[in-house]
Structure formats: structure tokens, C-alpha cells
Structure 1
Amino acid sequence: MPHTSCRHPRVRREFRELSEHDRERYILATVCLREQPSRLSTRETQWVRDGVGRKIAMPSLYDDFVYVHWRVAAETHGTPQFLPWHRIFISLYERALIRHCGWDEGIPFWDWSHDSQSPETSILWSARFYGRPTPSTPGSSPDSSPSSSHFIGASNFTHLFATWPSPHPIDRNWVQGPQGTLIPATFSPVELEMITGMARYGLFRSFLETLPHNLVHSGVGGDGGDFATAPTNPIFWLHHGNIDRHWARWQHHHLHIAHTYEGYPDSNNATVDDMMHYSGMYPDVPVRYALRYGNESNGYDEEGDVLPDAELLVS
């Protein structure tokens, strides 16, 4: 049975704090998961070329994460499980990068509060990393059907395809402004401090999810704006790393209630024994497994790791 010991703590750093070499290594590790065939799907693997000529599996090991998230979206969004379920989920992703793609650190996060007034100007959207949205063209999907949305532009993720809920080009749709496409403003550090100061888990979770979390998803748009299949867009992991970081900060600043868990506004509709489901990727575990985190910090900057010590079933 899994437990919460942390034998190999890994550090999670803000993406911009990584060296140029490590930024590129992380991006390539993310792409690497798309080059591995699915471990969960019963569909026959098809191989396609992405926008830069790499051979991509459909469905892929990366698609397994989208599938698992899609399967349980209703029970993990807008509910108390939002934070603990995603804490395990991003740790599973981190472990897959390490096991299959040569990554050897904690996954980075995107502190979007640093870019709160103009998120689209972040270096994350440069062609070296995640790319900006670009209008799609007819006949660009795997089944040659027209698409009216927006591809990820020139980057390591150019013209990648998604599997769930059906094959389609990964899209990202920003707001059209007078100076070009943009992402609406996100929460500033001051506003986040107000949320982190809330002295009750249910209230904190509700505000963190419905305000800054949802705002970033809707701002990125396209696949990233669909909560069920949002992991399709690779920025998901940096975004949720930051969300989990704020939960870790909340736990650190409220040690007397750090391991509490409740609904909001009804405190009686959730317990730490509620099971979290991972659809065959990982054993179903109770919420209590995600409430503990290494060194009371969860691995951000100088801190520990959270994933219970169980085998990843997609290995």
C-alpha cells in the first residue's frame, strides 16, 4: 500500500529560474512522452509526424494523462478534491518524465503573478519554449478535416495532435487586442496573498480554484480552456505546479490546519477518507495521502516531494 515517505526529494523551481539548458531539456522531455505509445488505451497505436517532423504516437503516454484527467474531471473540479487529486497527478507526470524521458529534477512551475498584467509577454510563449497561438489552416488535423481554431505556433510543440476526446490539432486561442493576441490579466502577488491568508481549507480551495486557476485556463483558451482535457496543452503542468505551490504555501503558513480537508460552504460533505481515482494509472488512494508533503513544503524552490511511494502503473 502506498505511504507518504519522501526518500528522494526533488526541487521544483520557477521556469525562468532554470538554466537555459534545463529549460530546453524539460521541453524536450515533455515532447518525449508523446513519442511513447499509450500504456492505458486499447486503441491501436498510429504514428504521425508533428510540425517539425518528429514521430508521435497516437495515443501516446502523454495522452494517458489527458485521458485520466478527462475521466475524473467532474469529481476533481469544483469540489474539495481539486487540490489533493491534482497534487498526486502532477507528481505522477513528474515521475513519468524522470522514468521515461531522462528528466531528473522536479517539474518547473509558472508563477503567472510575475506576469499578471501582461501574461502574453512572458518568455514562456517564445518560439524556444511554448510558442504563441497562430491561425490554423484547413485540412491540418490527423483526419484532414478543416479546423477554425488556433494551433500552437512556432515552437517545440508546433502542430501537435491530441487524442482525447477525439483526434484534433492542439489549439490555443488568445484574445485579439489592438496590439495583437493577448492573455487577460491574472492575479497579482498582493491578490494571491489575500487568498493564501484565508484561514480555512474549504474557503481557500474555492477561491484559489475559481479565481486565479480558472482565469489562467480561460485566458490560454482552446484545449487549455477546457477543464476536462486541459492537460492536452503542455502549459497545464507549469500552471498546476504553481497552483499546488500556493496550496503548499497555505499549508506552511497555517500549520495548525495544514492537513485539514473540508467542503465549502458545507464542511460535512468531504472527508480525508474519500477516495481519489486515477483510472488505472495509479492506485486509487484516499485524500489523506495528498495532505502530507515533504518537509512541510512540497518541493518548491528549496523543498521536498509529495508522491506516495507506489509504482506508476503506466511503466
Structure 2
Amino acid sequence: MAGNMVVNAVLASLCLFSGASAWPFTTRQTTLTLDKVQEQALANAYKVLDGTLSDGLTRPSTCNKNTVAVRKEFGDLSKDERKEYTRAVKCILEKPSKLSATKYPGAKSRYDDFVVVHMNMTPSVHATANFLHWHRYYIWAYETALRTECDYKGYQPYWNWAKYPDIVNSPIFNGDEWSMGGNGDAIGAHAGSFIGGQMVPGGPGGGCVTKGPFANLTIHLGPLMSTVDPKIGIKSNPRADGFGDNPRCLRRDVNNFFSSAYMRPQDLLDHITASAAIGKFQDSLQDAGARKTALHVGGHFSIWGDPGGDVYVSPAEPAFWLHHGQVDRHWWQWANYLDKEVKSRTSMYEGGTNWMNPNSARGKSSDLQWLDVVAPTGQNGMASTQFFSTTAGPLCYVYA
């Protein structure tokens, strides 16, 4: 999330048409829609699995149409499935950390281990060549931990940004027992923040989350780059690196600013169809220009609050994983929806290696990615090539 980075990226819309147009026959036009993109991406992913379409990668025989996992949208899960997911998240929140208590005193739980890794990796995995690849690895590791350490039988759900114009009252944030918890309690008027070339007003929340599965959750790490109104009084971390123990409530300021105007189905479609190369795709996905807010930024700041509005500590917000599940799905759709482009798009890799240094070394697809203590057993330090596809390397999943 690069909330303070401003770029002049203008996304061009592209409509694809098919059908004969010669007189005297009636012209037949099939307009591409976001639903059609999903349909085509899934169909092509299955073609790759059955060998009728090549993406240029080799994959183990253990990943096939009969074994592939299917990640679903949170609101499409049954109520029992949603409760099972939040049970597993609460389980990992209760398990002890595997990190050094001296080096990372704020890491109190196994969940906090994931936050620490993100804090350490932030400069190298945002606005870099491996932004999409590392986060794919990271989300998969989290999903694996839920399954292997907390007996979760499902897979990581995602939040379809385009599905809920009113995200405040969506199944994700409505605060019932099947949600990801409610908004923060209303605290009245409070300042917004300058995000992506525009002033975004404060939302209807801003206070502690007191409803739903994550009511009264305690956050320990950070803040490092908070974007909430200073008058709210988020206390500073006792250590400059943010790793000290700083207990405070989970705060949210869930709002419809982005979902109602910048994350509509046409906005997602425009972004997917505007870029033929991954460099422009991933840059415009992350960076917010004055004309159109980037989708990655819009998702994070639709949740906002503390730690949701902190680029370093944002995984401490339990809804982070649904948001980044959608980031991964959005990339998966872009890579797979055009059958003639699947092979080339799957292996594209472009960008630098350090967000803070625009002249940093260019990333290579052989670069190793690291997850330290949260990596699945024996799978730390894996090359970016292992995450080109969701059905190659150690991965075996698609999106429904």
C-alpha cells in the first residue's frame, strides 16, 4: 500500500467485440464484462491443468482438476464456513509466537509472527518487481498455517471489491457473528487523510471494534506509518522500529468512499483490460493518481483505522487477508482471461527491488523470496518463478 505515492497513471478502457458486421446481417456484439473475465480466467486455468492450454510452466501431477483448491468470495461462503474461517483466525491469534521475545517483544502470538515478517519486508515487497509474487507467497503461507496449525479445512477467502458498493453493511463488516467483525465504534467528526492525490474524509467509525468475531481484539505491534487522525490519540510504539509491545484496541473506519466510486465492476474491468504488460498493471494497481484511486490503496483505506491504515503493520487487521486475496485474484484474472496471452503474461516480471530507492537493482525472476518463521516447513527462500502461477510450484488453487 503506497498511500502517499502519487503517479500520473491514466487507465484506458478497452471494450472487446466479436461477431460479424457485414450488411445485411444484424451486428452481433459481445461486450466484455467483469463476470466474463472471471469465467474466461477460470476456464483457461482448468485448460492449463488438463493440458489443453500451456502457460509454459511445469507442474506436479498432484495438482490437477480433481485436487485443485478453490478459493471463494467471503460473502459466498455459507454461514458455517464463515464461522469456521474466523474460528481458525482466532486460533492462530491465540497460539504463541515463534519469534524471539527479546528482539520482537510486541510479537505475542503466532498471528503476530506474520505481522513482523511483513514489517521487515515492506520496503522490498511494495512498488517492486515482487509485490504480487511475494504477497501470493505470503497469503498462501497464512492459509497453510490456518490449515496445519489450526485444523482449518477450507481455503483463504477473498473480498471482491466490486461486489459491495456499501461495504459498511456488507457481510464482511456488518458485525454479525458470521462477519469479519463490525466497523469501529462511531467517534464523531474526525479528520481524513490525503490519499492518492485527494483528501479522503473520515468515515463513520474510527473507534474500537466492539462487535463480531474480532471484538475487543488487542493490537501489539506498531504503529510505524499511521494515517489516522492524530487527535484520535494512537499511542506511539515504545521502540522506533515498531516491534515493541504497544497494546491497544483494533480500530476501523470502514467507509464507502472507494467502494461506491472507484472500485465498481467497470473500474476493475478497465484496470484489467488497460495493461498488456505486468509493469504497468502492477504499478497502476498500487499507486494512486489524482484522477483515479488505485485499487490496492482503495481496498486498504476502505478498512482504514489502526492498524489497517499503516502500510507496515496492516496485516494485523484480520480483513487484510481478504483484501490481498482479491489483489491476488485480480492478478490471476489479468494473467488468465485471454487464452492467447496466458503463456506470456504468466511469466512477466518487471520492476525494482526497493520501494525507497527508485534506482534500485532490477528484480530477476530467480530472486529468492523470504518468509522466515512463517514459511511452510521447508519452503522458505523460494524463487519468484515458483509463484508465477496459482497451479505451479508449491501452489494448487484457483478462484471461483
1:299 and 2:375 correspond:
no
Q: Which has the larger radius of gyration?
A: 2
1:183 and 2:280 correspond:
no
Q: TM-score, normalised by structure 1?
A: 0.78
Query: What's the counterpart of residue 174 of structure 2?
Result: 126
Offset of residue 172 of structure 1: 2.8
1:69 and 2:118 correspond:
yes
| Aligned with 2:217 (options 152, 160, 163) | 160
- Give unpaired runs (5+ residues) of structure 2: 1-57, 188-205, 223-244, 288-293, 353-357
Offset of residue 88 of structure 1: 0.4
Offset of residue 153 of structure 1: 2.4
| Residue-by-residue CA offset, 1:11-43 (whole Å, 9 max, x unaligned) | 100011111111111011111101100112335
| Aligned with 1:18 (options 68, 77, 91) | 77
Offset of residue 58 of structure 1: 5.9
Matches of 2:269 and 2:399, distance apart in 1 = 18
Offset of residue 273 of structure 1: 1.6
Instruction: Report the CA distance shift for 1:44/1:35 in structure 2 as closer, same or farther (over 3 A).
Output: farther
Instruction: Report the CA distance shift for 1:44/1:33 in structure 2 as closer, same or farther (over 3 A).
Output: farther
| Aligned with 1:248 (options 332, 339, 343) | 332
- Give unpaired runs (5+ residues) of structure 1: 47-56, 137-148, 175-180, 303-315
Q: Is the 8 A contact 1:248 1:298 kept in 2?
A: no
Query: What's the counterpart of residue 144 of structure 2?
Result: 95
Count of aligned positions? 271
| Aligned with 2:300 (options 192, 196, 217) | 217
Query: What's the counterpart of residue 27 of structure 1?
Result: 86
Offset of residue 269 of structure 1: 2.0
Offset of residue 135 of structure 1: 5.4
SS in 2 for 1:123: coil
Offset of residue 76 of structure 1: 0.7
| Residue-by-residue CA offset, 1:228-279 (whole Å, 9 max, x unaligned) | 111111000100001100111111023132211012899x822202222223
Q: Is the 8 A contact 2:183 2:252 kept in 1?
A: no
Query: What's the counterpart of residue 239 of structure 2?
Result: none
SS in 2 for 1:42: coil
Q: Is the 8 A contact 1:84 1:290 kept in 2?
A: yes
Q: TM-score, normalised by structure 2?
A: 0.62
Q: Is the 8 A contact 2:97 2:109 kept in 1?
A: yes
Offset of residue 93 of structure 1: 0.5
Offset of residue 288 of structure 1: 1.1
Instruction: Report the CA distance shift for 1:72/1:4 in structure 2 as closer, same or farther (over 3 A).
Output: farther
Q: Is the 8 A contact 1:109 1:239 kept in 2?
A: yes
1:262 and 2:350 correspond:
yes
| Residue-by-residue CA offset, 1:139-196 (whole Å, 9 max, x unaligned) | xxxxxxxxxx62122111111112223323243342xxxxxx7331231111111211
| Residue-by-residue CA offset, 1:288-314 (whole Å, 9 max, x unaligned) | 111122189963345xxxxxxxxxxxx
Q: Is the 8 A contact 1:12 1:106 kept in 2?
A: yes
Offset of residue 44 of structure 1: 10
Instruction: Report the CA distance shift for 1:301/1:76 in structure 2 as closer, same or farther (over 3 A).
Output: closer
